[in-house]
Chain A
Amino acid sequence: MDQFDELIQFLAPDGRKDVKSASCMTVAQLTGTPDGLKLLCSKPKILTAVARLIRDEEVYTAKDAMRTLVNISAEETGAEVLLSLKDVDIVGEMVKCIIDEEYPHADFACGVLSNISMTKQHCQKVFDRVNEGPTKLEGLMNVFCQIEYNKKGAKLHLLAPIITNFSQLAPGRKQIMDKNSFIFQRLLSFMEYQPSKGRRLSTVATIHNCCFEKEQHPWLMGEEVDLVPRLLLPLAGPDTFTEEENDSLPVDLQFLPDDKIREPVPEIRKLVLEALMQMCVTREGRELLRSQNAYLILREHHKWEEDRHCIMLNEDVVNLLLRTEEEIGVDDLSTVNVPPDLADKFTKQDEEYLAGGSSDLSTLQDKETS
C-alpha cells in the first residue's frame, strides 16, 4: 500500500516537476496492460490524483494524465470507477476541457466522455451531469458544429459519438431536436462531412435515432428541417437525370456535380436507409417522399449498391413508395401487429437474404402486405 500512497504524493499538483511527470507517465504506461488497468481501477485515489493533472503546465504530464483517463474509461468497470470518483467531477472536468478553445488535449476529453457514456445506464448518468453544468448538451453541440473551434488543433470529431450516445435517451433526443435553437439543423451539414468518416457516421447515427420519434416527423419533414432531401443526398451520385427529372427533385438534389460521390461507408448508408424507412412509417411521410420523387434517387442508388443489406433496405423503402396507399391500407405502419411466428419468419428470411441465399423478392414483398 505504501507504494501507492507514495505514488499519490508524487502525483500531487504542487509536487516536483520531474517526479510528477515521471509518475504520471508510469501510471499511463500501466493502462497499457489488462493487469495494470485492473490495478488502477481498484485505486480511485490514484485516478483522482491523475485527473487533477489534466491541466498540468507540463504539457506531457497533462497528456499522460488524459491518456490514462481515456484508457481507463474504455472498460466498463473503468467507466464506473471514474463516474463514481468523489473528489473530482469527471464529467464536468471533461466538458470544461472540451469547451476550452485553448486546451490542447480536448480530443482526449471527448474520448473519455464518449467512452463513459457508451452503456445505457452510464449514459443516463453522464447525460444528467452534463445538463447539470452550465454548458449542457446544447453547448457541446454548439462546439461540435463549429469547425476549427479548438485553436490548438484538436478536431473534436469524437464529440459526435457522445451526442449519438445521448440520442439513445428520450430526453437526449428531445434536447437534440430542440425547435428553437436550430442545433439539429446545424448537425445536418455534417452528414456529408468528407474529411472525417467518424463525424459522418456518428452524425448520421444521431439523426437515425431521432427519426424514431414519430411525433417529430411533421417537424423533421417540414420546412424547418426538411430532412428527407438530406437523407437522400448521401445516396445520390452524379447527376444523370433529364431536366424534367431534375425539376421533380427537391432543390438540394438537383443538378448534382459530376464529382458527387455516394456515401462510401456501407454502415452509414444503412443508417440513412433505415432513417428513410422510418420516414415511411406514416402515410404523410410516404406521400412526401413520393412528391419529392425519392424513388428516382433510390432507383439509381439500387443500380450502384453492392452491399446486400443496403440493397434489401433500399428495396423495402421502394416497395412502400411504389405501392398506392389503398394497396398499403394502413396509415401508420408502426401500429401493425405482426404475429410472433410471422415476425420470426420474416427475420429469418431477411437473414437468409443477407447470407446470400434466397433473394426472392416476392417473399420480401409478403412482409409488407401482411
Chain B
Amino acid sequence: MADDWKEKIIQEKLGGKRDWTDSERAELCRQLDQDLDKHLDTVSQSKFEDGWTEENWRDKMAEHPLFAPYVQEDGSAVAEAPINPLSEGLAQLKFDPEHNTPTEVAMSYKEEGILQFKYKKYRLAVANFSEGLKQVCPDRELNAQLLNNRAAAQWHLENNRSAIRDCELAVKLKPDYTKAIMRAVDCAVRMKSWDEVITWCDRGLRLEPGSDKLKKTRITAMKEKKIAERNERKKLQEEKKKEFEEKNLINIIEGRGVKLGSAEVKGSASVTLADLEPCHPAAQGSRVHINEDGELVWPVMLLYPEYHETDLIQEFTESNCFEDHLNVMFGEGTPAAPWDTERKYLPQNMVLYFEDQEKSKLYEVDPKKTLQQVLAHPKYRVLGGTPGFIVLTRGSKFAKEFLSKYEC
C-alpha cells in the first residue's frame, strides 16, 4: 500500500524521475507539506455533521456494516434485520455461525488471518487462526492449515515454543505435513534445542529422504549437540575440581588448629567457605589459599587504633614471622606511613596484640613467631576470613590508655 502511494507521488510530482538530487527531494517534501496544510485548512472549515448522536446511535449502529448483525436487541434473526445489503452480506459471509457451517467460519478466520499475516500483523493473525480453531470444524486439513499458519505467525513473534507446539498438532492431523515439520526444525534451531532439531529432521527425512536442507541441519545439530554436551561436561568437571580444592583448603585450615568465627555468629561449629571470604573490601580477592609448597597464605590486617588506620598484608605466608613483614613495612630505609608524623612506628617499638573472642582481653604476639604458630593459639579466632592484629607502640601514652580498657 505504502509503495503504491509512493509510486503515485513520484509520478505526479516528479514525472516518474527516480534519481532525485537532495534539493529536489527537499523541494518535494516542502510541496507535500504545503498540500497537506491546504487540505487540513479546507477540512477544518466545514463542520462535521455525520456523527452519531445519543438519539440516533442505535439506528446508525444497526446500519453500520461492522456492527449490524450483533446489535439486535430483541434477538430477532439477523436476516430479518432491516439493514443494508452490504452489512448483511458481510456478516453472513464471514463469521456468523447461524449462516455458516463451522468449516466455513473457520475458513473465513483462516483467510482473515492470512490477510493480517500479509500485513505483518502477527498478533491479529494468531488471534484469527485461534478463532478458526475454536470452531472445531471437522475438516482435518483445514485445522492442520490453521495450526501451521498460527505456527508461522508465532514464529514471527519469536514464540518458538508455541510455534513448535502448533507444528506438533498440525503434523498429528496431517502426518505428511512437511511444511509444518520444516517450521518446527527452524524453531528448534533458533532455540538451540539440538535434540529437538534432530528429532524433527528425522521426521522430515522420513517424508523427504535426502532433503538437502534437513540433512545439513541435522549434521550441524549433531555437531552443536556434541559441543554443548562437551561444554556441559567440562563445566561440571571444573565445578567438581573447585569443590575439591575448597574442601582441601578447609581440611588444611582445620588441620592447622586454626579456629574460625564468622563475623556475625561467633565461633560457628564447622568451617565453611563463607567464613573464609574476606569481609574487608581491601582484602576481597585475596582469600586465604594454598601456595605451591602446600602452605596457607592469608590476608592479614594490621590495625593502628592510635590513628584509626589499617594496613592490609595481602599475602602473609603462614611460615613467615611477623618481624619479616614489619621490617619490610616499617624498617630502615622505608618511608614512614603518612599518618606516622612522629615516626614512632619502628619495628623495634611496635607491639602486636590480638583480641580474644569476647574482646575482653588482649594477648601479646611475639613478632618472632610465625603466623601459623600465632593462629594456632587456643584463644585466636579468625574473623571474616582475615586475621587481624592490633599494633601499638611500646610505652606510649596512647598504648597505656588503650591497654587499660582490657583486663590484663
Contact = CB atoms under 8 A, between A and B. Distances in A.
B237 A255 contact: yes
A257 B219 contact: no
Contact of B222 (A185, A239, A256): A185
A257 B233 contact: yes
A255 B228 CA distance: 12
A255 B205 contact: no
Nearest to B235: A255
The DSSP consensus for interface residues of chain B is helix
Contact of B206 (A181, A185, A223): A181
A152 interface: no
Most chain B beta carbons < 10 A, residue from A142, A180, A255: A255
Contacts of A257: 233, 236-237
Contact of A223 (B201, B219, B227): B219
B230 A255 contact: yes
Nearest to A139: B206
Interface string B220-236: 00110011011001101
Interface residues of A, number: 19
A251 interface: yes
Nearest to A256: B233
B222 A252 contact: no
A119 B233 CA distance: 44
B146 to A, nearest CB: 27
B209 interface: yes
B209 to A, nearest CB: 4
A251 B230 contact: yes
Given A182-B201, A182-B202, A186-B202, A254 B240 contact: no
A224 B215 CA distance: 9
A6 interface: no
Given A223-B219, A224-B219, A255-B237, A180 B230 contact: no
B226 A252 contact: yes
Interface string A222-258: 0110100000000000010000000000011011111
Given A180-B215, A223-B219, A251 B237 contact: no
Interface in A173-187: 178-182, 185-186
Contacts of A254: 230, 233-234
Given A180-B209, A251-B226, A252-B226, A239 B237 contact: yes
Interface in B175-225: 201-202, 205-206, 209-210, 215, 218-219, 222-223
A256 B205 CA distance: 31
Contacts of A239: 237
Nearest to B237: A255
Contacts of B202: 182, 186
Contacts of B222: 185, 226
Contacts of A252: 226, 230
Contact of B205 (A180, A224, A251, A258): A180
The DSSP consensus for interface residues of chain A is loop
Contacts of B227: 251
Given A180-B209, A182-B218, A224-B219, A255 B234 contact: yes
Contact of B233 (A178, A181, A255): A255
A255 B237 CA distance: 7
Contacts of A180: 205, 209-210, 215
A239 B233 CA distance: 10
B205 A182 contact: yes
Contact of B209 (A181, A224, A251, A256): A181
Interface in A96-143: 142
A181 B222 CA distance: 15
A88 to B, nearest CB: 29
A344 B229 CA distance: 47
A178 B215 CA distance: 13
Nearest to A142: B206
A72 to B, nearest CB: 34
A248 to B, nearest CB: 13
A182 B214 CA distance: 10
A254 B223 CA distance: 14
B261 to A, nearest CB: 35
Contacts of B236: 257
Contacts of B215: 180, 182, 224
Interface string A159-200: 000000000000000000011111001100000000000000
A266 to B, nearest CB: 27
A25 to B, nearest CB: 40
Nearest to A239: B237
A251 B227 CA distance: 6
Contacts of B234: 254-255
Nearest to B214: A182
B332 to A, nearest CB: 47
Nearest to A260: B233
Interface of A: 142, 178-182, 185-186, 223-224, 226, 239, 251-252, 254-258
Q: Which 10 A-B pairs have the closest CB atoms?
A: A180-B210, A180-B209, A255-B233, A255-B234, A251-B230, A251-B226, A254-B230, A255-B237, A181-B209, A252-B226
Given A178-B209, A224-B215, A255-B234, 4 more contacts: A180-B209, A251-B226, A255-B233, A257-B236
23 contacts: A179-B210, A180-B205, A180-B210, A181-B205, A181-B209, A182-B202, A182-B205, A182-B215, A223-B223, A224-B215, A224-B219, A226-B222, A239-B237, A251-B226, A251-B227, A252-B230, A254-B234, A255-B230, A255-B233, A255-B234, A256-B233, A257-B237, A258-B240
